[in-house]
Amino acid sequence: LENKKGSENFFMMQRNRATLPPNHGIKKHPQGRKDALKGMVLVVSGVLDSFHRKEWESYVQAHGGKIAKSMGKQVTHLVNDHGEVGPSKLAECKKRSIPIIGEDAVLEKVQQSLGM
């Protein structure tokens, strides 16, 4: 059973990696205050809507947020737009009441930092 679960996770990761951000280069990424995302620690699962991972990291950090690679105690939000959230990340979110949001929620918070 352990092996089967591991192989299911492997194939889920492969599907997520094969999916490109569908709105890359199309969606606007607002620039806001450098502290717009202060206090937010984000971990990504699956595929974002319009960012590649490195672009996302730069964007979040430029607005005062932090990126986590795993579900550490400091994580405040899990970000997922497309693809599947891994079962262990999903369980951890439920256990710790961590909200699962899309990239649009982050973009909106950055936009709101300008008072618009």
Q: How many residues does the chain have?
A: 116
113 with 36: CB under 8 angstroms?
A: yes
- Taking the C-alpha atoms of residue 32 and residue 30, their distance in angstroms, rounded to an integer, is 6
Point out the least confidently predicted range of 8-22, 39-53, 98-112.
8-22
pLDDT at 66 over 50: yes
Instruction: Answer yes or no: are the C-beta atoms of 79 and 42 closer than 8 Å.
Output: yes
Closest by CA to 58, choosing from 50, 67, 49, is: 67
pLDDT of residue 2: 47
Predicted local confidence at residue 84, as pLDDT: 84
pTM for this model (two decimals) = 0.82
pLDDT band at 12 (very low <50, low <70, confident <90, very high): low
Sign of CA dihedral 16, 57, 35, 108: negative
Say if residue 39's pLDDT is above 80. yes
**Confidence band, pLDDT 50/70/90 cuts, at residue 16:** low
